[in-house]
Structure 1
Amino acid sequence: MTPTIQLPQADGSVSAHRLRDPVTWPLPASPPRTRIAYAAAHVAADPFGDNVPGAPASIDWSTTLGFRRYLWSCGLGVAEAMDTAQRGMGLNWPATRELIRRSAAEAKAVGGRIAAGAGTDHLPAEVSDSDQLVSGYEEQLEVVQEAGAQVILMASRQLATLARGPEDYHKVYARLLDQVDDPVILHWLGPMFDPALSGYWGSTDIAAATESFLTLLREHATKIDGVKVSLLDAEHEVRLRAALPEGVRLYTGDDFNYPRLIKGESDSSSDALLGVFAAIAPAASAALHALDRGDEAAFDNALLPTVPLARHLFTAPTYYYKTGIAFLAWICGHQPGFTMVGGLQSGRSVLHLAEAFRLADRAGLLPDPELAVSRMRSLLHVAGVTR
């Protein structure tokens, strides 16, 4: 019989939750064929490190790399050093640089797909001109390319501050795209994930920003593998997907509507680069392999139950979703403790985490119910919910 745990509710009461029987998700022999799928992975903090807000990140390398091996074993690619790994929220550039190098070496050793973010988060909050900004991008580009990872050109807070219109974005990105070794993934991250990126591509009007974005894509299509769009707007993504230049992929970053967008419609579908895939990796893998077989019912059965969890993890303030990702990695036994760089384990309440626990269980994502309950009880005890 599976265990039962008393979980807190918003009204100050507790309710009993009996865990379901664990789901056995088979590991695939190879990655899915019909979609490219990346999980944006988090980092595990060193429990002996001084990971307080503002301190340099101290990473548990063994656990962090072990989690990436787990994602590769599920047939997923790893999107490294993205916002899920706390870029701009605790992961400083020296730690990021080491993370990219170590993860790329690990990917080479196991034959895993890897792409990594190059940005400008090591620069001052305000830069003097576009030359300084481009130089900052180039420094990180060099690290990613030398490591052997595919480049993801991340959105830049400094560029959002510096730019006065679409042409300023186009000039910076044109200079960068002219020098990349291989086609890159461009990253459009909405302000719900990072308020400092409001107005990216030159306008707060989504239609105007989209046209600016498409202009850049059309002018440099041969240097662009795809675009990673995280705006949590499925209808916009479908329209953008239809307007992309031939050969340019759309990697959905919509952690609310990913089943529909990945399954596709009218002979058009999105690939995936999702933070939530780090939390639902075995279900995502099963769903993607079901698509390979043309079994849409099995796709739905695996992936649709994960949507309530995803929408909960990414509820406002959305940028704290990383806390839920790390929490679930701990609950599922992928890391020894629930600590995060920058002290971000405090980014969500115990009520939020308790609901994440419920929803993860309902989706069949808790592989060891006894371990999950033991760890959840210890968190509730520390929080003062149980005595």
Structure 2
Amino acid sequence: MAGIKGKGAKKAKGADRQSAERDDLIRDAGGYDWGWPAIEMVMANMELSRRLAAGGFSGCGYGIIPDGVPFITLVGSNVRGMKSALALLKEWTTLSGPNAIRIEIAYDGPGYVLAISQQVDLLRWRVSGIDTVRQPLMMVTSHIKRMDSRHRMLDQLANYAEQPVAPLWLIVAEMPEGVSRGGGSRDFAFTPNWDNAILLPGIEVYRRPEHRPPHTMARTEAEFEARTKNGPDPGWPPALRQDPVSLASARERRLAASMPKTLHVLRNTHPGAALMEQAQALGCSRWQVEQAICNLRSADFLAYQPSGAGKRLAMINAVRHCVLEPASMEVDLTAIPNDQISAQIGLDAAFLLRRLEPNREIGDATAERIERIRELGYG
């Protein structure tokens, strides 16, 4: 029998994964633990590299303005393409501020490496917000250019960059005809283009490889050759942290990010305290009660009530990852009976046990599930 290859294999694999996720949702029956880790990744696109390539980006120029701020110029053979690349960089700063751009220079033999990237934390903020339920792993693409020689002015720029406050302008220019055909570092005149000039708060210049931070994008030629030889980093993606402390911390952060009004009412009002006291009489921990009530209230955010159970569970799961409870939303705790809270605690406990001990049968009674979670150290 012939195997499935190419796009067909990828499509089949994706369908299998979606089917498994649907099966998990149905088996969990609405149970959910907000502390359980999941890998989400966001990868920056290659648009900057595409525009720099279209601009014929081939080198850098440096300049000093008397009694002014120095500048670094990205030089290319097609000034329209270079302007397009600068416009994209300008857009990053408009969305996230001047720190959105990270420019690194690392000395490498007689030359150096230039890396232009997005600041990871600000990129994460743009795609997932601040202090939200989702904290995806970020895969940042960087445009890396190797220069075979260094101009003496780069040493001056390195000295300048060491100052506590060292802003500089980022601009583009067209490479003078004839210069681009020659190699090496040299002095030549060019006309800087100040349209859309970006004032950067600083630049990182590393004179020695050991001066670079751990997650630098400015990699030397030897490091790239080693990476090609050794293959992908075995430590990526990082292992999911499933210990009790990590789960408790993630649970608190995510619940506070998604359901702040409900938590406030439960923790700071008399009706909330009364409900917590009644629910804890079931023998569970406070966090289990809070989580169960938040899970029950997640259904209030559905745009409509679907007829199919699978569809409803999928919609609730999506709500948990993207909805922020508004402060104006009413939290009516009297609408949640104790038996419903108890049932939800049982479902949430089963969700966690199913992942901690996938090969162990889960007890039917809620009290039995709670006790097992305590025995495992997660209570």
TM category (shorter chain) comes to under 0.3
Q: TM-score, normalised by structure 2?
A: 0.23
Q: Which has the larger radius of gyration?
A: 2
Q: TM-score, normalised by structure 1?
A: 0.23
